[in-house]
Structure 1
Amino acid sequence: MALPVRQIAYFCADIEASARAHSASFGSGPFFLGRHVPLSWSEHRGVRVQHDHSSAYGQWGEVMVEFVQQHGTDPSAFHDLYPVDSGRLGLHHLAVWVDRLDEALSHFEDAGMPLAQLSETAGGTRYAFVDAAATHGHMIELYEPTPGLTGFYAMVADAARGWTGGNLLRELG
């Protein structure tokens, strides 16, 4: 099963500062800011949790780059790798698209990468973090490529074409 990387994501303390620094170093951007991303529900290791987080999404060459910060101290796949008050920040996950999420979760579980977190956006898109820390040093995020998701990735990539560095940070509605 070939699963190309669609996104590289970093856990950070401040999505705006991280996006600015990354753009200055690598020319990535522009970045679209999703504050307090609305979720219908989220489960961390089988337990319902509040999962309040914000993200900045930009284009870095051929791949999307995300900076994510969690608001609060609730258990999460983010805090699995970067515990509260540890001060640690860094690579959190690589995102891949899968044909069928439930089948992919079984595949990764069988490969020693158990489900860490399963969530559903307010728009109805389910996504999962599987714990690949023991084998790869990070989480892997899994999505089914719905029209809404692929359209969002295309919008971010299209914004980067011909972008000259202005209007770096853009709020999502």
Structure 2
Amino acid sequence: MPGPHHFGYWVPDLAAAVEEKVRTLGIGPFLVHRHVAFDTFRLADGTEITDPAFFDHTAAFAAWGPIVLELGQVHSVDDRLATAYGIGFDRIGHVSWVTDDLEAEGARLEAAGCRPIHQVRSGDVQVAWYDGGPLFPHPIELHRAGPPILGMHARLAAAARGWDGRDLMLDL
């Protein structure tokens, strides 16, 4: 059974949230992926999305002990996706884990009562989102195992080693 890879939170102001996490948790720096773009974006009903504004967000990641903390700021989102995600600032946004087989893990989640939300691909990164069903009160993000995801914590931990606390956000 896979364990958590990262926990994600939606925030209204990314820079302020990063500053607060650095100050209170002592973690950082955050590596930032601005205006995340997808090669493909397919809703659970099979609808292909080509409009980049459908889900325009910036994500910032930092090593937090053995896991990764993700803070995400939404710039624009289609109402259907905002509802499916349950975007709010007062709770966890999603939990993510890595799997070798997205289809098998997705089928396992569906059998547990979690409905698919969408699948995306960006380069070597392939992701599937599910609602939490009876398992969690928030979505689940599954990542297909591969170098970008499997090496993420090591890259973040390396950035944190010897970090002088000055540059809180570094662009990926």
Normalised TM-score (structure 1)? 0.86
C-alpha contact (below 8 Å) 1:51/1:76 kept by paired residues: no
1:103 aligns with 2:104: yes
SS at structure 1 position matched to 2:92: strand
Distance change (3 Å), C-alpha of 1:145 and 1:129: same
> Which residue does the alignment assign to 2:154?
154
> Which residue does the alignment assign to 2:24?
25
Amino acid aligned to 2:153? Y
Query: Percent same amino acid at aligned positions?
Result: 27
Residue 133 of structure 1, CA deviation: 5.0
Distance change (3 Å), C-alpha of 1:139 and 1:171: same
Amino acid aligned to 1:74? D
> Which residue does the alignment assign to 1:41?
40
Distance change (3 Å), C-alpha of 1:79 and 1:53: farther
In structure 1, C-alpha distance between the alignment counterparts of 2:15 and 2:150, rounded to whole Å: 24
C-alpha contact (below 8 Å) 1:77/1:129 kept by paired residues: no
C-alpha contact (below 8 Å) 1:76/1:117 kept by paired residues: no
* Alignment length (residue pairs): 167
In structure 2, C-alpha distance between the alignment counterparts of 1:91 and 1:133, rounded to whole Å: 15
1:5 aligns with 2:9: no
In structure 2, C-alpha distance between the alignment counterparts of 1:81 and 1:113, rounded to whole Å: 13
C-alpha contact (below 8 Å) 1:70/1:78 kept by paired residues: no
C-alpha contact (below 8 Å) 1:44/1:116 kept by paired residues: yes
Instruction: Please list every run of 5 or more consecutive structure 1 residues that lacks an aligned counterpart in the other structure.
Output: none
In structure 1, C-alpha distance between the alignment counterparts of 2:132 and 2:69, rounded to whole Å: 19
In structure 1, C-alpha distance between the alignment counterparts of 2:19 and 2:82, rounded to whole Å: 21
C-alpha contact (below 8 Å) 1:117/1:130 kept by paired residues: yes
Amino acid aligned to 2:104? E
> Which residue does the alignment assign to 2:126?
126
C-alpha contact (below 8 Å) 1:82/1:89 kept by paired residues: no
In structure 2, C-alpha distance between the alignment counterparts of 1:104 and 1:75, rounded to whole Å: 27
Distance change (3 Å), C-alpha of 1:78 and 1:133: farther
Query: Over aligned residue pairs, what C-alpha RMSD do you find?
Result: 2.0
Amino acid aligned to 1:168? L
1:59 aligns with 2:63: yes
